Amino acid sequence: MTPDTLEPRPPRQGRLDVTIARLSDGTAGSSIVPVVGLALLLVAVIGSLDYLTGEWLSFSIFYLVPVSVSAWLGNRRLGIVISLLCATTWAAIDVVYEPRYPSWWYGVWNATVRLGFFTITTLLLTALRDAHHRVAALARTDGLTGAANWRTFRELLDAEIFRSRRTGRPFTLACIDMDDFKLVNDRHGHAAGDAVLRTFADVSRQRLRSTDVVARLGGDEFALLLPETGVEDARTALVALREAFTDATTRQGWPARLSTGVVTFHQPPADAEDALRHADALALEVKQLEKSGIGFAVACRIGADSALDLRRERT
């Protein structure tokens, strides 16, 4: 397992993609009250301008602004409510200026068509927003386990390396290769193999901190990033994780175990690929010497300008 064999670095997002992401994620988890207030204010302003300019100037397209704001930043229900309010405001202004319809139902028809147009806009925008969220999630996570994918993990690891350089605080990186994973697939089927991978991701999320990162790099290979974590804390966490995973797989009758290489970086590596190279090499050593083992190492520099070297031990 090396970074060179994994997914290449993705192209940088365009400005439109970044703008959509910021708009769609900016209110995630926040109160909808500010969105309601903004939408109502926009309806009031546009309706007032529509009324003050009289029947000779059309403001119809501007009613799409509060509809779009409420649908994208709020939710589908709010978008439909604001659509109804916009259609009603537009119809009321028509009544004030007494358009000479041949019959009253012409006005009802126009108001209904406007409401339908605003509602369709709401439905399309909320569907687009939801699809964008799903695509964004799929682009950053592994579809089977819900863990971060290689692209996301590399970004977070590079950020942690930068922070380590700035603060001087250590971090720990672990590369994990499952032992006898093929045996699980051969004996119990690929559904069981998928369940083993999900079990590891679930156990990792339960046992590690919320600030730690669990990533699936491909196949049965995982990586863990433990920010601002020294050797002893990493040892406690990784040994407990191995025991929890072993207990979970033993209960299911699965022979899968973990070979783990754990490197604590008191001196930051050059980049994410360099960090993973050290942890992956250590995991490979562990797998060759003894299955279900954990190799611990501290990355340090022998000289001021020399490459990182590892001081190794096994548990």
Q: 56 or 297, which is more confident?
A: 297
Same domain, 155 and 295: yes
pLDDT for residue 36 is more than 50: yes
Which of 140, 172, 196 terminates a domain? The answer is 140
Same domain, 169 and 132: no
Nearest to 268 by CA among 297, 301, 235, 237: 301
pLDDT for residue 95 is more than 60: yes
- Region 31-60: mean pLDDT is 89
Return the CATH number at 207: 3.30.70.270
| 225-229, 290-294, 303-307: which is most confident | 225-229
Evaluate whether residue 171 is within a structural domain.
yes
Evaluate whether residue 206 is within a structural domain.
yes
Output the 3-class SS for the chain: CCHHHCCCCCCCCCHHHHHHHHHHHCCCCCCCHHHHHHHHHHHHHHHHHHHHCHHHCCCHHHHHHHHHHHHHHHCHHHHHHHHHHHHHHHHHHHHHCCCCCCCHHHHHHHHHHHHHHHHHHHHHHHHHHHHHHHHHHHHHECCCCCCECHHHHHHHHHHHHHHHHHHCCCEEEEEEEEECHHHHHHHHCHHHHHHHHHHHHHHHHHHCCCCCEEEEEECCEEEEEECCCCHHHHHHHHHHHHHHHHHHHHHHCCCCEEEEEEEEECCCCCCHHHHHHHHHHHHHHHHHHCCCCEEEEEEEECCCCCCEEEEEEEC
Q: Phi and psi at residue 213, in whole multiples of 5°? A: -120, 130
Evaluate whether residue 194 is within a structural domain.
yes
pLDDT for residue 83 is more than 70: yes
pLDDT for residue 7 is more than 60: no
pLDDT value at position 260? 93
Q: 95 or 252, which is more confident?
A: 252
- Region 183-187: mean pLDDT is 90
pLDDT value at position 211? 93
pLDDT for residue 304 is more than 60: no
Domain span holding position 81: 3-140
Instruction: Please give the tally of structural domains in the chain.
Output: 2
Same domain, 127 and 209: no
Give the Cα separation of 194 and 192 in Å (integer).
Answer: 5
- Region 179-202: mean pLDDT is 93
Q: Are 151 and 10 in contact (CB under 8 A)?
A: yes
pLDDT value at position 4? 39
- Region 22-31: mean pLDDT is 50
Same domain, 166 and 80: no
pLDDT for residue 37 is more than 50: yes
pTM for the model: 0.64
pLDDT value at position 311? 59
Same domain, 161 and 127: no
Evaluate whether residue 59 is within a structural domain.
yes
Same domain, 113 and 17: yes
Average pLDDT, the chain: 84
Using the structure block, give the residue that is written with the tokens 């147009």. Answer: 117
- Region 68-87: mean pLDDT is 94
pLDDT value at position 14? 45
pLDDT for residue 235 is more than 50: yes
Evaluate whether residue 145 is within a structural domain.
no
Which two tokens mark 120? Answer: 């369709």
